[in-house]
Amino acid sequence: MGLFERFLTVWVALGIGAGVGLGLWLPGLFEAVAALEYAQVNLVVAVFIWVMIYPMMIQIDWHAVKDVGKRPQGLLLTLVVNWLIKPFTMAALGVLFFQHLFAPWVDPQSASEYIAGMILLGVAPCTAMVFVWSQLVKGDANYTLVQVSVNDLIMVVAFAPIAAFLLGVTDVTVPWETLVLSTVLYVVLPLGAGMLTRHLLLKRSAHALTNYVTALKPWSMVGLIATVVLLFGFQAQTIVEQPGVIALIAVPLILQSYGIFFIAWWGAKLLKLPHDVAGPACLIGTSNFFELAVAVAISLFGLNSGAALATVVGVLVEVPVMLSLVAIVNAWRPTDPHNLKI
């Protein structure tokens, strides 16, 4: 690992500070950047995420993708955690904290909206950032692609019914533009570019491919830091004006992330998954598709609602929490090269 990757947590912390500082100093600039969106997807953030995941897409070997079906346990673990466990534990934590533990400090209406925002996060597994986390834990790029793709397909049919059931409403309209645009921007386009790049480089030599991927790796991390700066810059005013509320919402979200990770890790050990499959499988469930969650929260409850705020807090806590989980996965990497199962 290079200097930049080795101290990535430090750079992210500096990016958070820089984002909040710049957001307070130049609010007009961040408002202008925030306005550059379509279907609740910010186009500038999309570019930075694209920069992050493009290097990993180049590493995907399509001859190896077809072999994923020969070891379906990792895919099964991801699906069980994401769709049968995570939405319900998120709802349970929301009720526990905001209807009981935090009840003295939060009015009932706000509490119900915070719970709704948490539920929407819990029903939206990650689409884009998981490629970054997979790369940082040296995950199997081919397997990660299949895991994300299958999750996206299930999300099309499962998101609305599960969200409606847990929210206690009769109808949740899926913002199809957000879902489709995010999938195209974060998966289809970088995957297509990666396939083309890989094909052209391999026509020259395998060495050319390795050199190109190595040269791109720092840019992937730069894209991550730039995304952090923007996300925290967008919400700088909210962070300063409502630190107490943000802290309250962050507590169950952080507990959910670590709880889901350890449930998934226990499942991976039970299934004796290889480390490069287990790592990404556990991280997919702990990361969220925040664009979709934010879009639905705004459409159901309004832009200034507690539900929308809760989904935004999910964005703010995700990167620091995920980096800590990446560190855990790397620390638990098997040392025996002949036995890489966890």
- The per-residue pLDDT for range 227-249, each reduced to its tens digit, is 889 989 999 998 999 899 999 99
Identity of the residue numbered 174:
V
Whether the pLDDT of residue 336 is over 60: the answer is yes
5 — pLDDT class (breaks 50, 70, 90): low
Residue 33: the pLDDT is 93
> Rounded to whole angstroms, how far apart are CA atoms 57 and 137?
15
pLDDT band at 15 (very low <50, low <70, confident <90, very high): very high
Q: Among 2-11, 57-66, 212-221, 238-247, name the one with the lowest average pLDDT.
A: 2-11
Say what the pLDDT of residue 290 is: 82
Domains observed in the chain: 71-210+241-331 (1.20.1530.20)
By residue count, the chain amounts to 342
Residue 169: per-residue pLDDT: 65
Tokens of 131: 């490629």
What CA–CA distance (Å, rounded) separates 239 from 237?
Answer: 5
| Residue 113, φ and ψ in degrees, nearest 5 | -70, -40
Residue 37's DSSP bridge partners are 42
What would the pLDDT profile of 140-196 be if each residue is shown by its tens digit? 988 998 888 888 888 888 888 999 899 886 566 678 888 888 888 888 888 899 989
Residue 92 and residue 82: Cα distance in Å, rounded? 15
Beta bridge partners of 288: 125
pLDDT at 172: 65
Q: Which residue has the tokens 């919402």?
A: 249
